[in-house]
Amino acid sequence: MTSEPTGPAVVLTAVATEARIVTRQLEAESVERTPFWHSAGRIDRREVVVVRMGVGPARAMRATAWAIDTFAPSHLLVCGFAGGLDPTLRMGTVLQPHEVHRQGKPPIPLANLGPTSGATTILSRDELAETPSEKEDLFRRSGCQAVDMETYEVASVAAEHQITPYVIRAISDDAHTSLDRRFMRLVDSSGDVRPGKVVTLLLSNPTSVMGLMRLGRDATIASDALWASLRHTLERLSRRPRAP
Ligand SMILES: C[C@H]1O[C@@H](n2cnc3c(N)ncnc32)[C@H](O)[C@@H]1O
């Protein structure tokens, strides 16, 4: 039996929109921008640090190593969006996968709060899964219900420190939806929206406003569901040290 770790719960996010879902609920004490944007404070009296890793596996590895070294977290959580691969999953569905997969590597188990309805797995890859046919193909080959770009690296770095992360992801683009690459360029590598790029896109392609509005609506549905699930998880964590 190890003694209960005293550090904060660290919530790892990729893009600014994901971080904001948590920071707007945080009684924040501090915000720092380097080496990774992070905000420390309290949610329901629990110490929480929200870290913005940026998008993709390389940043996820560096941010996870840095967060573990810096905060000695009592719990590590990954919170954000995912693409749906299973065609029955709808926009805003929240998943707490029990295992993360990556092509050519062994699956890594994830922490779970008690029995969940059905075993869910998530696939991490280097790129976005953009079109319905690409998602269908990934679903057939991997069997995973959802896809993202950071969870595998977070879990593998955490495992080196004997930590098993909790992963909470909401479907922001389901298996029937195409993600428009132009919209992803509106976000820089550290997960910030680039306002200049938004204006350029709208001027060069006025119809893109429809896509932007849909993206905004989908993100709102997913955000509300994600926060509800994260809060519930944080409440239940208080009775458990780290992870099984
Ligand atoms: C865009 C951000 O949200 C996650 N994400 C959301 N949708 C997808 C998708 N279709 N493919 C891959 N990653 C996705 C990634 O993890 C990334 O950080």
Question: Where in the chain are the domains?
Answer: 9-178+215-237
Under a CB-based contact definition with an 8 Å cutoff, are residues 33 and 72 in contact? Answer: no
Say how many C-beta atoms besides its own lie within 10 A of residue 167's C-beta. Answer: 29
Under a CB-based contact definition with an 8 Å cutoff, are residues 120 and 95 in contact? Answer: yes
pLDDT (tens digit per residue) in 52-88:
999 899 999 999 999 999 999 999 999 998 999 999 9
Q: Which of 148, 150, 173 to mutate to test the pocket of ligand 1 (most atoms within 8 A of CB)?
A: 148
Q: Whose CA is nearest to atom 6 of ligand 1?
A: 82
Which residues, judged by CB distance below 6 Å to any ligand atom, belong to the binding site of ligand 1? 14-15, 55, 80-83, 128-129, 147-150, 172-173, 179
Distance 28 CA to ligand 1 centre (A): 27
Residue type, 172: S
Distance 127 CA to ligand 1 centre (A): 8
Q: Whose CA is nearest to atom 7 of ligand 1?
A: 83
Under a CB-based contact definition with an 8 Å cutoff, are residues 27 and 41 in contact? Answer: yes
Distance 199 CA to ligand 1 centre (A): 23
pLDDT (tens digit per residue) in 123-168:
999 998 989 999 999 999 999 999 999 999 999 999 999 999 999 9
Say how many C-beta atoms besides its own lie within 10 A of residue 177's C-beta. Answer: 19
Give the fold, CATH level 3, of 9-178+215-237.
Rossmann fold (3.40.50)
At 192 the pLDDT is 63
